[in-house]
A and B are shown apart, each in its own frame.
Chain A
Amino acid sequence: MGKPIAVTGNEAVANALRQANPDVCAAYPITPATDLMQRFSSFVANGKVDTELVLVESEHSAMSACIGASAAGGRVATATSSQGMALMWEMLHIAAGTNLPIIMPLVNRALSAPLNIHGDHSDAMGARDTGWIQICSESAQEAYDNTLQAFRIGEHMDIRLPVIINLDGFIISHSIETMSYLDDDVVSKFIGEFKMLNPLLDIKNPKSYGPLILTDLYHEYKRLQHEIMGRVPKVALEVAAEFEKISGRKYGLFESYRLDDAEVGLVVMGSAAGTCKDVIDELREERGIKAGLLKPRLFRPFPYDEVADELKHLKAVCVLDRADSFGGYGPMFMEICSALYQNGGGAKPAAINKIYGLGGRDFMPDQAQQAIEEANEIAKGGKIKAVKDYIGVRE
């Protein structure tokens, strides 16, 4: 295992891509993912990888080139953010619907308008229904670890699906953190050789990608797509168990923090989880509030049953969303409520939703405290004032 070093999240993920050594990488720069690809392109220029780096004129072309390279039979990776991913949108569906295991770190950033380059989850949440696997990271270490594991999950022969690895723009991508790399040989043994499936470049066995499928079979193909997604959690856990052996770091479908004896819980994804854990520790020690936290790791497919089991004993839960659905609840709140509602007639915690940190607004400990205190009041029998509300907003 490597020694601890201080790097940015972008540098960590660029090194994960270097160690995975993709055959093809097509990318277009966009803040805050630019620096990730810039670092990777220096690995290409310096001969550290065998990658063919394709410089394209837009993200739509980047994803299109990735799709072509993946169908041809190569290991393929790219990276993007925000507007860049928005421009890829139609190609995201094609990558997933064609079962092409393209690996894409998504350095989460707010969407225009107004124009904003800072971190929130609007881009990732918008890609919810594209058919991509989505894995979420709290830190540079997790972003690195998740990227390595993403190759194994996406390229698994039972799955063959593209994977987005979420990491918060600037907070993770540009902040220097302590983390450690695995040795190159350990990683290449863990990820292994790329296995082709129906490669177009196998010209002795010609085949067609991207057929027209109308009313007779489209419905069936979508049903099949759902089935394949359903295989992901088992594979993700197997890969995580293997990863733990080489890294000593344990990953699940989500992280559960002090939930066992908790009465109130927070659900929060990404970098804000660390702040919340500190506040939970403080409130437990100083005020005896039995609080815990659930941090989703696998966002797609979403592990509804497991999340429901983890939260159902709580009295109140506050779901923090770093993305919004105008005229609706935050996207994570909708997932959590769906998970809890599955519990039939069983007891369910009261649930509230706080929208925080849009456009990179700092998420401070007092906001986590406010969320826990409000959930705690509800747990003690207090009324829900508003199901959805904004936190850290000037009023």
Chain B
Amino acid sequence: MKKWHELNPGAVILEAGSAAKFKTGSWRAYRPVWIEENCIQCMFCWLYCPDMSVKTEDGKMVGFDYDYCKGCGVCARECPGKKGNKAIVMEEEGK
């Protein structure tokens, strides 16, 4: 941890994109779990996620970034699933 005389006056952060270093996933009480067989790749989860925590490859949903996901549950709520079966469900952390 920096000492006071090592700090930048005005608390200006000169390094771009440094927020990526601050991992906020530990705030989470519930984690979203992806059930691939129920996923229709509608990308609603990716669209609604307020924290860019839905990982994609080639335009498809491939899972969650748990370093930043805060477990808000918006993705699980918006997920239409397949034939009434959700592709995202929330599970309590630590269980």
Contact = CB atoms under 8 A, between A and B. Distances in A.
29 contacts: A97-B11, A98-B10, A98-B11, A160-B10, A205-B14, A206-B16, A206-B17, A207-B12, A207-B13, A207-B16, A208-B12, A208-B18, A209-B13, A211-B11, A211-B13, A217-B1, A217-B2, A219-B4, A220-B3, A220-B7, A221-B4, A221-B11, A223-B4, A224-B4, A224-B7, A224-B9, A227-B4, A227-B5, A228-B9
A99 interface: yes
Contacts of B16: 205-207
Contacts of B12: 98-99, 198, 207-209
A206 B11 CA distance: 14
A217 B3 CA distance: 8
Interface string A212-243: 01001101110111011000000000000000
Task: Select the residue from B4, B9, B16, B17 with max chain A CB neighbours within 10 A.
Answer: B9
A198 B8 CA distance: 11
Contact of B13 (A208, A219, A221): A208
A100 interface: yes
A350 to B, nearest CB: 39
Nearest to B19: A208
B40 to A, nearest CB: 38
Interface residues on A, range: 20 to 34
A206 B13 CA distance: 9
Nearest to B15: A207
7 pairs of A and B residues whose beta carbons are closest in the complex:
A99-B10, A220-B4, A206-B16, A223-B4, A208-B13, A98-B10, A99-B9
Contacts of B18: 208
Contacts of B17: 206
B7 A217 contact: yes
A205 B5 CA distance: 24
Contacts of A221: 4, 7, 11
B68 to A, nearest CB: 16
Nearest to B9: A99
Contact of B14 (A160, A198, A220, A225): A198
Interface in B1-60: 1-5, 7, 9-18
Contacts of B4: 219-221, 223-224, 227
Contacts of B14: 198, 205, 207
A160 B11 contact: no
B16 to A, nearest CB: 4
Contacts of B15: 207
A216 B9 contact: no
B2 A100 contact: no
A211 B17 CA distance: 13
B23 to A, nearest CB: 15
Interface in B64-89: none
A225 B5 CA distance: 10
Contacts of B7: 217, 220-221, 224
A158 to B, nearest CB: 10
A206 B17 CA distance: 9
A217 B11 CA distance: 10
Contacts of A206: 16-17
A298 B43 CA distance: 62
Contacts of B13: 207-209, 211
A213 B7 CA distance: 12
Nearest to A200: B12
A223 B7 CA distance: 10
Contacts of A205: 14, 16
A355 to B, nearest CB: 37
A206 B16 CA distance: 5
A223 to B, nearest CB: 4
